[in-house]
């Protein structure tokens, strides 16, 4: 059984409550709570004047009898124009020219939507990263493929050897491009396997590079030396790999929270292309 919403009201510096919605409406109807008195319930972001809560303010019906408007959008009444929250959010913007008589979302639903957008941004950031990596890999794949093919048809044996040596690199790049493509599409559709796979890939890449660098350094005794340039290159590469892994993990962690948000929020952010 759902718990009944409890209201609080304040007159001057004195705060009273909690009271039930019925009790609060009765106090308004009897004039014990005036239009300027402040009211609040759980789920509202701020206290509002009673006149700004449509479900509390009495309005005359067609017979001239005063009734209480039975709607649950507590921050809007048609006599006040744009509600305070919307006015605050739009402060500094050009005045809306569209319909200002339709405000279907209450504060609780707005909070849900804001949380959904925040989570969706983490997911979209990972998908955008994979799309960028796909583009860069596709460019590199094309360059290596053209170079490799041209070398393989060269008259020089050494050039042909170089061309043959590029084939494994081209194959790896093609596989990565396919993986980035699938990961980008799956991440946008909130499939957790995609960012998790990319997280493992980036962490694995970091470990491999650290091991390779250690092997190179240990080979100094053999006269192979690992100059400072290699250390700088390793640091930069690791920095990017760790950053990419972090973005992937953020998306992986955000997906279940995002899917737990109301379905209408998810529909809106997908429809908006977020």
Q: How many domains does the chain have?
A: 2
Structure tokens, 45:
């972001």
Provide DSSP, 227-261.
-HHHHHHHHHHHHHHHHHHHHHHHHHHHHHHHHTS
Burial of 181 (0-12, 13-18, 19+ CB in 10 A): middle
Pairing verdict, β 58-60 and 7-11: unpaired
Q: Partners of 14 in the beta sheet? A: 11
The contacts of residue 28 (CB under 8 Å, 6+ apart) are 50, 56, 57, 58, 68
Please check whether residue 97 lies inside any domain of the structure.
no
Per-residue pLDDT of the chain (274 residues; tens, 9 = 90+): 456 778 888 887 788 888 888 888 888 877 788 877 888 888 777 788 887 777 776 544 444 444 444 333 444 444 446 667 777 777 888 877 776 666 676 777 778 888 889 999 999 999 999 999 999 988 888 887 777 777 666 667 776 676 676 777 778 888 889 999 999 999 999 999 999 999 998 888 878 777 776 666 566 554 445 556 666 777 787 888 888 899 999 999 999 998 988 888 888 888 888 7
Please check whether residue 104 lies inside any domain of the structure.
no
Owning domain of residue 245: 110-271
Please check whether residue 69 lies inside any domain of the structure.
yes
Please check whether residue 154 lies inside any domain of the structure.
yes
Is residue 56 classed as helix, strand or coil in its secondary structure?
A: coil
Please check whether residue 98 lies inside any domain of the structure.
no
User: What pLDDT shows up at residue 112?
Assistant: 82
Q: Are residues 37 and 136 in the same domain?
A: no
User: What pLDDT shows up at residue 160?
Assistant: 66
Q: Are residues 146 and 254 in the same domain?
A: yes
Q: Are residues 127 and 193 in the same domain?
A: yes
Please check whether residue 96 lies inside any domain of the structure.
no
Q: Are residues 32 and 115 in the same domain?
A: no
Please check whether residue 173 lies inside any domain of the structure.
yes
Distance CA 39, CA 108 (A): 16
Distance CA 104, CA 261 (A): 18
Distance CA 7, CA 15 (A): 11
Q: Are residues 163 and 228 in the same domain?
A: yes
Asked whether the whole model's pTM tops 0.85, one would answer: no
Q: Are residues 60 and 187 in the same domain?
A: no
Q: Are residues 86 and 58 in the same domain?
A: yes
Q: Are residues 239 and 157 in the same domain?
A: yes
User: What pLDDT shows up at residue 229?
Assistant: 64
């Amino acid at each position: 059984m759902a718990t009944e919403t409890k209201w609080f009201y304040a007159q001057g510096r004195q705060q009273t409550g909690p009271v039930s919605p019925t009790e609060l409406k009765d106090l308004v109807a009897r004039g014990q709570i005036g239009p300027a008195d402040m009211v609040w319930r759980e789920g509202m972001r701020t206290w509002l004047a009673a006149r700004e809560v449509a479900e509390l303010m009495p309005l005359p019906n067609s017979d001239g009898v005063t009734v209480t408007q039975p709607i649950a959008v507590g921050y809007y009444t048609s006599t006040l124009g744009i509600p305070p929250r919307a006015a605050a959010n739009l402060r500094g913007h050009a005045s809306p020219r569209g319909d200002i008589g339709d405000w279907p979302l209450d504060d609780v639903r707005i909070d849900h939507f804001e949380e959904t957008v925040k989570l969706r941004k983490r997911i979209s950031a990972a998908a955008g990263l994979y799309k960028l990596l796909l583009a860069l890999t596709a460019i590199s794949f094309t360059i290596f493929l053209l170079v490799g093919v041209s070398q393989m048809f060269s008259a020089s044996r050494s050039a042909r050897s170089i061309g043959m040596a590029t084939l494994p690199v081209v194959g790896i790049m093609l596989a990565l491009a396919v993986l980035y493509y699938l990961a980008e599409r799956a991440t946008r559709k909130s499939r957790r396997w995609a960012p998790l796979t990319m997280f493992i890939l980036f962490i694995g890449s970091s470990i491999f590079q650290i091991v390779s660098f250690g092997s190179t350094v240990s080979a100094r005794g053999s006269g192979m030396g690992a100059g400072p340039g290699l250390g700088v290159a390793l640091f930069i590469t690791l920095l990017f790999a760790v950053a990419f892994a972090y973005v992937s993990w953020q998306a992986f962690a955000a997906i279940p929270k995002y899917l737990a948000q109301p379905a209408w929020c998810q529909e809106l952010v997908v429809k908006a292309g977020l």
